[in-house]
A and B are shown apart, each in its own frame.
Chain A
């Protein structure tokens, strides 16, 4: 599919900032984004993310606007319409549409290196935090008791409403391509997913990226 170059700069430059050109001249204590991925693969990933963001923008034209004075009902309505519209627009989407084969391979390499590195154990402990296969929700009748909810890892699946979100350790985020605010990486069990934060949709996933037998699949 031919893409318009015009849509690239905004997100692609952000993602490509991952290569290391984002290091600013002024002194900073913020570590540099350091993604070990070749430019071509990174660009391919950036293009897919940009394409999704563009699709999402189109979907947003159907969504009732909210402002900072939104009520709970307005928020719910907005999310429902957004989710429904995006699912309709992405009909036929399949695994690997965003995480293309070489992107997936590059991300697997990065994650394997991090999880088997000196901080690997700590990172794997962190991603259990909020991981819906590990943690549940305190119950209204007895908040000391937690009940897990099932999250179905599939393209265009709604991330189960109310299920918690895994921590994605900041040091790991510095090794992965930056994402725009509309989407985020998360872990569900041992899978890495990319999720639309507001539409609450799983857009794509890579299975078995966490080499930790104590984390459920």
Chain B
């Protein structure tokens, strides 16, 4: 079901400043994120827990990128342990060992549960769920903009009224500029095996639209996909952290902005002020997608000069879908700063150049800036 544009979409205040898509070849482990001072830095992975060589490879890439881009936490889009989820050995071999380097570096993991995960895992200390199947936490940008980001981990496998009520209440309460939801089943996906979770969408999307959710990360379909903005919300499918369905993206769906189903992958993201920079990386360290989402404050959106994305369409520069992993050398243009780098820029229209172009990343240099500590706010204890 594809909803018509909701008036509240206007209040989302979301425009893309520049999405310069990395469909062009890139060198391994090239960081395209700006590493701005005080920014919120995190990684996203989903459908990881197979214990396969591929999962370990992805874990190694994440650790390698962590050295260049010291992200403080990882959000997990579910299916964290396949087959034997109540088995301590499985938790070790399919989580603690593959991500040992990150755990050793004190990277925090925030999990959501998938359809292969046992609810008892909500008590597992390394996933920071506080015993809850849905919860929220906040991470603050300590840079000049002092922007807050609140994350909502949901249980998409069992969306009962209790959870829906909680989502609405917590979203309404949150004053954070960035409201980011993550859960297992994608509201939009071009997966041949699964595809969009339309029933779930009919229940949660109105809550997201009315309460300012800007970005959604999900898994379930075993590939990477950046969906064309839907009702003003940016959706990513990040479900190839340890599982893969090669060639499963149905490119006739009309949903795909960028898709990659040729190898395993994960994502990195950085929130600095009103910009969310993202980079999707393959198992071999190649960049398969990158860009920036600019989140415009409500007042700016109200300005007539600020065209907003139409429902079901994309306001970004059209980019060919990467059907194959990027190969060959990096493009010669060095990364350029985003044309809309300043958060103070009034409601920019869509700009950018057709691909191939470098992503809008300033010269990346790891900084020793003290990172903000995410502060968890567990959901209220469920009443029996």
Contact = CB atoms under 8 A, between A and B. Distances in A.
Interface of A: 10-11, 14, 22, 28-33, 53, 66-73, 75-76, 78-79, 119, 122-123, 126, 129-130, 135, 137-144, 149, 161-162, 164-174, 178-182, 184, 197-198, 200
B382 A181 contact: yes
Interface stretch (B158-166, B298-306, B320-328): B158-166
B384 A182 contact: yes
B384 A68 contact: no
B383 A10 contact: yes
Contact of B125 (A30, A70, A171): A70
Given A53-B384, A161-B85, A167-B197, 14 more contacts: A11-B384, A29-B168, A30-B164, A71-B125, A73-B88, A75-B86, A75-B91, A137-B82, A143-B244, A161-B87, A162-B83, A165-B116, A174-B160, A200-B86
Nearest to B115: A130
Interface string B187-206: 00000001001111011101
Counting from the closest, the 5 A-B pairs by CB-CB distance are A130-B115, A162-B83, A170-B159, A72-B91, A72-B88
Interface of B: 50-52, 54-55, 82-92, 96, 115-116, 118-121, 123-125, 128-131, 133, 157-162, 164-165, 168, 185, 194, 197-200, 202-204, 206-207, 210, 220, 222, 242-246, 382-384
B123 A143 contact: no
Given A29-B207, A137-B83, A178-B160, A75 B124 contact: yes
Given A143-B50, A143-B243, A162 B198 contact: no
A165 B157 contact: yes
Contacts of B168: 28-30
Nearest to A123: B199
Nearest to A138: B243
Contact of A171 (B185, B199, B207, B222): B199
Contact of A75 (B55, B82, B120, B160): B120
Given A143-B244, A161-B85, A167 B124 contact: no
Contacts, number: 166
Give the one of A67, A76, A137, A172 with max B CB within 10 A. Answer: A137
A126 B187 CA distance: 13
A177 to B, nearest CB: 11
A29 B6 CA distance: 13
A137 B49 CA distance: 10
Nearest to A22: B161
A50 B84 CA distance: 30
Contacts of A164: 115-116
Contact of B115 (A72, A166, A170): A166
B93 to A, nearest CB: 9
A68 B194 CA distance: 33
Contact of A69 (B82, B119, B125): B125
A3 to B, nearest CB: 16
Contacts of B88: 71-73, 75-76
Given A72-B92, A79-B86, A169 B200 contact: yes
Contacts of B159: 170, 173
Contacts of A182: 384
Nearest to A71: B125
Nearest to B47: A138
Contacts of B158: 168, 173, 184
Contacts of B118: 161, 197, 200
A169 B161 CA distance: 11
A13 to B, nearest CB: 10
B224 to A, nearest CB: 15
Contacts of A167: 115, 157, 185, 197
A30 B207 contact: yes
A75 to B, nearest CB: 6
A32 B165 CA distance: 10
A72 B87 CA distance: 8
Contacts of B210: 29
A82 to B, nearest CB: 9
B185 A129 contact: yes
B82 to A, nearest CB: 5
17 contacts: A28-B168, A30-B161, A30-B165, A32-B161, A68-B128, A71-B88, A75-B123, A76-B86, A129-B197, A138-B242, A149-B83, A167-B157, A168-B158, A174-B160, A180-B383, A181-B162, A197-B119
A129 B194 contact: yes
Contacts of A170: 159-160, 164, 199-200, 202-204
A181 B379 CA distance: 13
